[in-house]
C-alpha cells in the first residue's frame, strides 16, 4: 500500500500517517526494550556527576542540566553545568591586597 502511494506521489513529503508510524516505531521500540523513554539511570548519573564536580568546583546542585534528544540514528545526551561566577569571588581578594 505504501509502495503504491510512493509510486503515485513520487518524492513528495511523507504522509502524516507515515510520520505517525515512524514516530511510534521509535518510541515503542524504546519502551519495549526496557530502556524506557525516561532512562532511569539519569538521576543517578546526575547525582554522581555532581559529587565529582563539587570536589573541584563549588557549584549549585540545581545548576546542572541534563538534556536528551533522540533521532532515528543518533541519541545525544547534553550535560550542561553552569559554573559559579568566578570573577566576583576572584576579584574581591585581589582588590583587598592592592
Partner 1 sequence: MQMQVKDATILSERDESSAPKRAASKQTTRIIVVTSGKGGVGKTTTSASFATGLAQAGHKTVVIDFDVGLRNLDLIMGCERRVVYDLVNVIQGEANVQQALIRDKHCENLYVLPASQTRDKDALSEEGVEKVLDALREMKFDYIVCDSPAGIERGAVMALTFADEAIIVTNPEVSSVRDSDRILGILQAKSRRAVDGRDPVKEHLLVTRYTPKRVEAGEMMSFKDVQDLLKIPMLGVIPESEIVLQASNQGIPAIHMAGTNVSEAYGDMVARFLGEERPLRFTAAEKAGFLQRLFGAKK
Question: Interface with partner 1 by CB under 8 A: which residues?
Answer: 16-17, 19-20, 23, 26-27, 31, 36-40, 42-43, 46, 62, 65-71
Q: How far is the CB of 47 from partner 1 (least distance, A)?
A: 9
Distance separating alpha carbons of residues 79 and 68, to the nearest angstrom: 9
Burial of 26 (0-12, 13-18, 19+ CB in 10 A): middle
Q: How far is the CB of 83 from partner 1 (least distance, A)?
A: 17
Nearer to partner 1 (CB atom), residue 84 or residue 89: 84
Amino acid at each position: 500500500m505504501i509502495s503504491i502511494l510512493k509510486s503515485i506521489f513520487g518524492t513528495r513529503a511523507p504522509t502524516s500517517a507515515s510520520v505517525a508510524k515512524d514516530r511510534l516505531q521509535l518510541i515503542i521500540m524504546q519502551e519495549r526494550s526496557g530502556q524506557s523513554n525516561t532512562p532511569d539511570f539519569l538521576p543517578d548519573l546526575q547525582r554522581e556527576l555532581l559529587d565529582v564536580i563539587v570536589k573541584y568546583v563549588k557549584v549549585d546542585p540545581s545548576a546542572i542540566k541534563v538534556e536528551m534528544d533522540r533521532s532515528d540514528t543518533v541519541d545525544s545526551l547534553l550535560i550542561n553545568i553552569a559554573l559559579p561566577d568566578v570573577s566576583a569571588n576572584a576579584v574581591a581578594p585581589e582588590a583587598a591586597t592592592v
